[in-house]
Amino acid sequence: MDETRVNLSALDPARDPARWQGVMQATMARVDGVLLHRARPDPLALIAGWRRPLLAMAAATVLLLVPVEVALERREADRQALRGLVDVSTAWAQEGRAPTGAELLHAVRTGGAR
């Protein structure tokens, strides 16, 4: 460890107030220039700047939801076909008759529609 003290007196604003004031004014001028460059002229321009990110999010949402919707439709169709087959099988059992192979194949293909 170095035990010598660091001399920071050059950073003291009270040492040369005119120089310090010049540094502050130059800094504020640069900050103002950057803020003016970044500022949007009006709220409509700000909203217009959101167009591309919003369109990208909408496209991503559609790309995610379409396959989900297709899968859910397929699942629902399979469920309805199975429900129809169960209903037909129950009706055959209540009638006390065994269906033929052709009737079973027709019931599977049509989801139980007679």
Domain boundaries, the chain: 16-49, 53-114
Contact 110, 84 (CB under 8 A): yes
- Amino acid identity for residue 55 in this structure: L
Which pLDDT value is given to residue 112? 62
This prediction has a pTM of: 0.39
The pLDDT assigned to 39 comes to 67
Q: Could you say which residues of the chain have pLDDT below 50?
A: none
Q: Which pLDDT score is estimated for 66?
A: 94
CA–centroid distance for 30 within its chain: 38
Query: DSSP code of 90?
Result: H
Predicted pLDDT of residue 48: 82
Residue 40 confidence (pLDDT): 63
Predicted pLDDT at 8:
85
Q: What tokens does 98 get?
A: 């065994």
pLDDT of the residue at 110: 76
